[in-house]
Amino acid sequence: MTIGMPGGVRVLVVDDDPDHRLLARHRLERAGFDVRLAGSAEEALVGIESVDLVLLDYRLPGTSGLELLPLLSERGPSVVMVTGMGSEGLAVEAMRRGAVDYIVKDESYLEILGDVVRRAWLHHDLVRRAGELERIGLLVTSASARREVFAEVVEGARRLLRADGCALFVFTEAGLVQEATAGCHVGDRNSLLADARRLLAAPQKTVETLGRLLVPVPPADETPLGVLAVLASEPRRFDPEERRLAVALASYAGIALGNLRRLDLERALVAELQQMLDLRRDLMASVSHELRTPLTCVSGFAETLRAHWAALSDDERLLFVDKICHHSTELGDLVERLLDFSQVEAGRLHAGIRNVDLRAEVEATVAALGPLMTGRPVEIDVEVSSAMADSVLLRRTLTNLLSNAVKYSEPGTRIVVRGSASGGVARVEVADEGTGLTSEEADRAFDPFWRASRVTSNSLRGTGLGLALVKEYVRVMGGDVTVESELGQGSTFTFTLPLPEPLPV
């Protein structure tokens, strides 16, 4: 069986002479066609959509074949005009109205009838296939709905190759999976999937067994994205034209898959960009608030001192000066974070790595945070003596982690700083007994500008930059940072640093 002349081509013979109908039927059925008969225009129009070709006589009761011809052609089948008059004008008019061929009822009419109808069928089939390929081509280059696109591709492949079934397998993160099917026959799915995997393991243009044709997607010398499988319920050989058509359809499937993946990527990038814009908008609002609060306090205490200096006691003056110093320091820390983040975004954050005393750096940082740590039992258990780090970035890392531990835990709860060496790196842990994080929140803890919604609703101040900066500080020092947390049970942030090279013996 080939694309050129399949069995079951349905031909309608429209002739007012029953003898001519009988003779035409006999000749066409011997040529392998499925023949139906009609003696009038009314009979011809009944069920015309299920017909492939029409053999139309010029003379019909109450009308002519020329009048009926456009009505038949617009319903889909190709039309061959038949007449007993060898008129050139009639032939031209028939072709103008949509006939694909013209035949005169002379003494050789029945002898050539099968060949004429066969040529007409080939023309009809060529036009139909070209239209279907054009439709699929337009679809795969413009459509955006994955399921609908692949459903149309496999159904189009099934129709064009006159197969009983068609399946498309596509590579995903889970491996090769069945993306779409068409038709009533897909055979043994496991066997088909195994054949598809073998084809991709040793790429070839096509793999064919009796009743089964597999083509990689795309079929060119590119990384395979999947497999198009064409299936017949009965043993069948696919001819070269069918194989070429299957390769063309696999190319369409590859184009569709590439377009849809690019579209998915574009959508993800747009969503990510929108998220970043939303976060930046939130950051501007948060930073404005964070800057305004200490500035308002500094301005308020300074103005009170200026206006009421004489009326204030020495203790009150010292208290107000302490408040101004505290909020000035807070303001300086915020500006420093913003400047560091701008350096990170510009790719200009660098580290001066040297051998540092890890325990001394931890103790110095805790001491510098003295007022913040008041009322907090802090345990320092640093076993490793030294690590390779930038002293300034290391202290900023510890400051951010300790500040977070204080901010998100109750007064009087314990904070632990541990240091150890394992796996060729120094590991530093900062653990608290605070509110903790859900697993979803832990996954986003190091995202710039991000803060848990329940934290923002509790009016805890912050910009969402601290942990993002910790991640970058540790990265430029050659380490990594992670968090382990459980909601209501506290959090443990762990970062690593390279160890010094051992001294040569």
Chain segment 112-125, per-residue pLDDT in tens:
888 888 888 877 77
Query: Domain 10-131 has what CATH class?
Result: alpha beta
Is the Cβ–Cβ distance between 256 and 157 less than 8 Å? no
Segment 378-391, tens digit of pLDDT: 999 998 888 999 89
Distance in angstroms (rounded) separating the CA atoms of residues 64 and 97 = 13
Of 76-80, 227-231, 405-409, 454-458, the range with the lowest mean pLDDT is 454-458
Q: What is the DSSP letter of 382?
A: E
Say if residue 237's pLDDT is above 90: no
**E strands in 119-174:** 165-172
Of 348 and 34, the structure prediction assigns the larger pLDDT to 34
What is the pLDDT, as a whole number, of residue 504? 60
What is the pLDDT, as a whole number, of residue 253? 82
The mean pLDDT value for 153-158 works out to 83
Averaged pLDDT of the chain:
82
Say if residue 107's pLDDT is above 70: yes
Fold designation for 143-264: Beta-Lactamase (3.30.450)
Residues pairing with 25 in the sheet? none
Is the Cβ–Cβ distance between 390 and 479 less than 8 Å? no
Is the Cβ–Cβ distance between 452 and 470 less than 8 Å? no
Cα separation values, 354 from 340, 383, 399, Å? 20, 19, 20
What is the pLDDT, as a whole number, of residue 495? 95
Architecture label for domain 268-345: Orthogonal Bundle (1.10)
The mean pLDDT value for 166-187 works out to 82
Domain range annotation of the chain: 10-131, 143-264, 268-345, 354-498
| C-beta pairs of 86-95 under 8 Å, 24+ apart in sequence | 90/58, 90/66, 93/66, 94/65, 94/66, 94/69
What is the pLDDT, as a whole number, of residue 462? 57
What is the pLDDT, as a whole number, of residue 143? 61
Of 203-212, 266-275, 299-308, the range with the lowest mean pLDDT is 203-212
Longest dimension (CA), the chain: 133
The confidence band for 455, taking pLDDT boundaries of 50, 70 and 90, is low
Say if residue 452's pLDDT is above 70: no
Q: What is the DSSP letter of 459?
A: T
Say if residue 460's pLDDT is above 80: no
Say if residue 426's pLDDT is above 80: yes
Of 350-359, 412-421, 444-453, the range with the lowest mean pLDDT is 444-453
Say if residue 339's pLDDT is above 80: no
The mean pLDDT value for 402-413 works out to 87
Report the CATH number of the 354-498 domain. Answer: 3.30.565.10
